[in-house]
Structures are given as structure tokens and as C-alpha cells.
Structure 1
Amino acid sequence: MSTIVSAAPGAAPDTERTGAGVHSSLDALEAESIHILREVVAEFDRPAMLFSGGKDSVVMLHLAAKAFWPGRIPFPVLHVDTGHNFPEVLGFRDRTVQRLGVRLVVAAVQDYIDDGRLLERADGTRNPLQTVPLLDAIAQNKFDAVLGGGRRDEDKARAKERILSLRDEFGQWDPRNQRPELWTLYNGRHTPGQHVRAFPISNWTELDIWRYIERENIELPAIYYAHEREVFRRDGMWMAVGEFSAPTGAETVERRTVRYRTVGDMSCTGAVLSGARTVSDVVAEVAVSTLTERGATRADDRISEAAMEDRKKDGYF
């Protein structure tokens, strides 16, 4: 079962613009995303937004607050909690929905493991186990559109997605059967049992996200910035030492200054060595990076050549 957490109202972000009439690339991206958010709310009866407390979902929620100001965000947010999340990120998630007055729906992987509907994986990661709780939460809450923070630059499977992407009665995606989206016209038609995934920041890059965070002064969980942490080296990645992630065999613990480019399970998300302690530092670092954040630090995407696409076909985001 999904649990619902109610939140109190909070302040909306500043929507003022400086230099009226001057349109930067960020202005254009912001305008496109706000247009998509408003289209989804206008076309669908029960939309929801995925929100984990990660940087892309934080930017999405900020855009939604702008899109519907001075009203409240007119849909709940949904988090599929693996039970292996970073505590700092969960705390940030709860503070954010409280501040914005958004209803939070949590689908917990642990509930499915406890009652036998899912089994723990041998590799210990729970990210691939999110699909069933996600699809159940969509069905139980009758969500007909789910907004996600996927970006085309992250992964070749996500690059294939349309802005509005149909999912069949089983929550599955067919990459060979997608609708054309010409002249920013989005087709949200679906039959009972189907639903649509919507990607308002699909055309953004990681650098765009960070430049926007800098411009809008958006708060993020502290783990996105350089901090000292106990880590160990595994498969070319620096993994955090914690309850769900521990060294084995010849792996040794070191104390390093690291930050996270993306956030998933502690058991599958690696850190990068970095001295970037401010948003400006991160912008400069990302500007010269040659690897996407998922390619550099997500073990769950290394399971196979088509790991992300396989999970998306099954119903994952």
C-alpha cells in the first residue's frame, strides 16, 4: 500500500525577471518546461510528479511552483522509496514538501519485500525493484499522468523518449511505437488503464540544470557538494560506507573529499572526487566533464548494455 503524508503550505519562489525582453537559453528551457507542466494539468484528470529529493526532481518542483503561482502546486508528488536512500536526501525531501505545501505519496519497496511480493537482489541494490511499487502506486491512486525528471542527455534510452510517452495497460513502454511531437503539440490521448509519462526537462542537460540552480538559488541536499566521507573503491566508483553499502574482500575504506552528481540507492550510487563546495564550483566542474552523471556513477546502469531501456520497457522511469 502507498502511504500519504500531508504537508503544510509554504512560500512560492520569486518569479521576478531582470532584464525584461532578454531571453537566454535558460529562459527558453524554463518557458518550455512550464508550458509542458501546464499542458499536463490541463489535459489530465489526476497527474502526479515523481519527487525523490534529487537535483532534477528539485528543479522540476521549483518549475511547478512557478508554473502555478500564486496557487499551490495542483498535484501530489510520488516517491518510490527503496529503503536504501541517503538519509540527507530523505530529510531534504520531507522539508521541501512541507515548505511548499505539497501532498507526498510514498510507495515503499521494503513493504513489498516484507510481504514477499519482491525478493532482495543478490547484488544488494534495490533500484531495479522500484518498478512494481511504482506501477502499483499509479494504479491505486488512479494517476493518469506521471511527471518525471528524465533528461535525454542522461542515457540513450531516455534520449528515445517523447515529451509525453504512452504506457500501456501493464505500464510498459514500446520505444518503436511513439507518437510524433511536431510544433510542440503533445498528444495525451489514452484509454482506461493506460497512463502517460511526461518529461518537462527532457531537453535540459546536466549543465543547464546546474546553471538554473545557480540562477534561481535553489537549495539542494548537501551531498551534491564536496564533503568528507568514508568511501571505498568498487568497479571504478567511490561508494559510501553505510548501513547498505560496505566494503568486501580487498576493498579498503578511505576518507576522501567527494560529492554526488546523481542520487539513487546508497548501494548503487557512486561519488566523485571533487572540491566543488559551491554551485559555481559545480557549474565549472560539470562544464568540462566528458561523462554523464549516470554513466560515471550509477552501478545499476552497468548491469547490461541496455540496462536502462530494459527497465523502462517494464515500467521504470
Structure 2
Amino acid sequence: MNARTEPHHLLTRLSDSHLEALEEEAVFVLREVAAAFERPTLLFSGGKDSLVLLRCAEKAFGRGRIPYPLLMIDTGHNFPEVTDFRDQRARELGAELIVRSVEDSMRRGTVRLAHPGESRNVHQSVTLLEAIDEFRFDALIGGARRDEEKARAKERIFSHRDSFGQWQPKAQRPELWTLFNTRLQTGEHFRVFPISNWTELDVWQYIARERIALPSLYYAHPREVVERKGMLVPVTALTPPREGEQVTVRSVRFRTVGDVTCTCPVASTAANAADVVRETISAQVSERGATRMDDRTSEASMEKRKKDGYF
């Protein structure tokens, strides 16, 4: 091996070692949930982070042997490419998939929109709490990561929620080494985040290494967009162009997927996971900061949403 090639091989070895450590931690947490709780569920949107969680769960328990159901809270405004992929993946795994809709909560009157065009994203917390009550879930496993947003960075891997589904940031339980306090009172539950310590780059390197299939939206494709407040807004029936905005066709991909009304793509030519890894290394803005219109709020605002039961 010559001096010119050694740094590349050294970087590859370090990357593999790093991913192995992250995977080992996630597998440990997933097994801990199965051992400590009676009615856990894994939040599954069909997005990249939940698909990484599923791969870790397969390694923790074996293919087709995930011991808890998958739960999706559907706003009714999700990208069809993602929901179709969600259903396909659940069938492939032979996993039970539970879907509860914000639109059902709207019909019950527990969710009321300020206006018809309002994003339903924040209202998912109401539907989620209703699903928790319906199935008596005591632990919900999610794919949130600390690098996504400041309020999320404050949260523990095992995040205690009270009987109202609320998170109290000043009353979090200590997590020393790998010792987790999982004691619950009646009506309480935990949100558990096995990939808390992963970064967006880690996720994409893992996707590339494991060859995890993703919805096509995550890779470059031509799409009609308009520029609005420094973001590329996709042109859809739910997000039509405003007066004076010019519609152009750009090569874009989505760094994160969610409610159509608040999720934006970024300009990209990345056709596969390795290409996305290269783009992610040079990215200057976090994935949510660059692509989520509803996240362009203060840290305190997101913290309040999490206290109210948000993911």
C-alpha cells in the first residue's frame, strides 16, 4: 500500500468501526425496550431514519421476528411514494402495521385547523396520544437524532413522558453509561430514540453500507419547484405557486420527508447513497433547517411542541 492510498483506506476502516459502534448501541437499546416494556411500538413513517431503525431491529431480533408492531401517524398529506414504500416494506417484513390518521382526529373534533391550508404536522401529537391511549403503548421507538434540532439535542435516549404525554426537560432521568431508568407509573410512557447519537452523515453511510432501499424521493429527480424564502418549495396541489412566483424544473432530492405542506427538497444530482454521502459531507445547514418550513421557529417553540406530546 503506498502513501497516497493509505489515508483513504484508513478513513474507510475508521468509518466502519464508527458505524459498528453506533449499530451495536442501537441494537442494545432495541433489545432493552423489548425486555423492559409490555406494549412497545416502533414509529414507522417509511422515511430513511425509520428504515435504518428497522434494519437495526432485524439485526437485533432476526428477519421477520421484530417483536413489536409498527405505528404510523398519517397527516393525510404525505407523499404517496413514501406511504406506498411504507406499506411494501411492512409486508416484506411480515410486520403488523398500525396507521392512525390526523383526519380521523379532525372528524372526532379533537383536531381543529386554524384554516384549511394549515400544516397538519404539529397536530400529529394529538393523534399520537390517542393511539397511545387506544393501544396502551408504554414505549414508542422513534428515529429522532440529536443533530436534527436543538430541543431534540436535550432529550435522553429513554425520554420519560407523563400521563398527559408531556416531556419535562428539567426532570429528565440521568443516563449513566448504559443504565436506563425505565420505571413507569400508570398512564405514563417512554419515547425511545436508539439512533440519538447518529448524525445525518452516519445515517447515509449506514444506508450505503447496508444497501437499504429507500423511497425514490431521497435521490435526485426532476421536479417543479418555486423559490420561497430561500427554500425550494415543491409545486403540488397542496402547495401551488403564489402570485408572482416562477415555476422551474430543477434536479432535486429530499433530505427528509414529511407533510407535503412543509417539506422542501434541495438542489441535488445525487443518484445513489454514495453520492448523497459526498453531498452531506459538504452541507452547511442541517437537514431540517434546510428543508422543513415548520421548523423555522425558535428552540423554545419546538421545545413547547415536544412538551405537548410531539415526536
Give the TM interval when normalised to the shorter protein. over 0.9
1:259 aligns with 2:253: yes
**Which residue of structure 1 aligns with residue 157 of structure 2?**
163
- Residue 18 of structure 2 corresponds to which residue in structure 1? 25
Match of 1:189 among 183, 204, 214: 183
Is structure 2 residue 56 aligned with structure 1 residue 63? Answer: yes
Cα separation, 1, equivalents of 2:176 and 2:284: 31
Superposed structure 1 runs of 4+ greater than 6 Å apart: none
Residue type at the aligned position of 2:178: T
Provide the C-alpha distance between the structure 1 equivalents of 2:161 and 2:263, rounded to a whole number of angstroms: 27
Q: Give matches, 1:188-267, under 5 Å.
A: 188-267=182-261
| Structure 1: gaps spanning 5 or more residues | 1-21
Q: Secondary structure, in 3 states, of the residue corresponding to 1:306? A: helix
Per-residue CA shift, 1:3-56, capped at 9, x if unaligned?
xxxxxxxxxxxxxxxxxxx96000000000000000000000000010001100
Q: How do residues 1-317 of structure 1 correspond to structure 2 at under 5 angstroms?
A: 24-69=17-62, 72-122=65-115, 124-317=118-311
Please state which structure has a larger fraction of its residues in helix: 2
Range with bigger deviation, 34-43 or 234-243: 234-243
SS, match of residue 53 in structure 2: helix
Partners in 1 of 2:191 and 2:299 — Cα distance?
23
In structure 1, distance between residues paired with 2:111 and 2:63: 42
Contact 2:64 2:93 in 1 (8 A): no
Contact between 1:300 and 1:307, CA under 8 Å: does it hold in 2? no
CA–CA distance in structure 2, aligned partners of residues 305 and 246 of structure 1:
29
- Counterpart of 1:13 in structure 2 is none
Alpha-carbon distance between aligned partners in 1 of 2:118 and 2:31, rounded to the nearest angstrom: 39
- Offset of residue 185 of structure 1: 0.6
- Residue 267 of structure 1 deviates from its aligned partner by 0.5
- Structure 2, unmatched stretches of 5+, are 1-14
Aligned residues: 298
What is the percentage of aligned positions where both structures have the same residue? Answer: 57
- C-alpha deviation, 1:121, in angstroms: 3.7
Q: RMSD of the TM alignment (CA)?
A: 1.7
CA contact (8 A) 1:232 1:251 kept: yes
Cα displacement (A) at 1:306? 2.6
Residue in structure 2 matched with residue 7 of structure 1 by the alignment: none
Counterpart of 1:10 in structure 2 is none
Query: With structure 2 as the length reference, what TM-score do the two structures score?
Result: 0.93
- Would the aligned equivalents of 2:72 and 2:100 in 1 still touch at CA under 8 Å? yes
Cα offsets for 1:210-243 (capped at 9, x unmatched): 0000000000000000000111122211111112
* One-letter amino acid matched to 1:27: E
User: 2:11 is matched with which residue?
Assistant: none
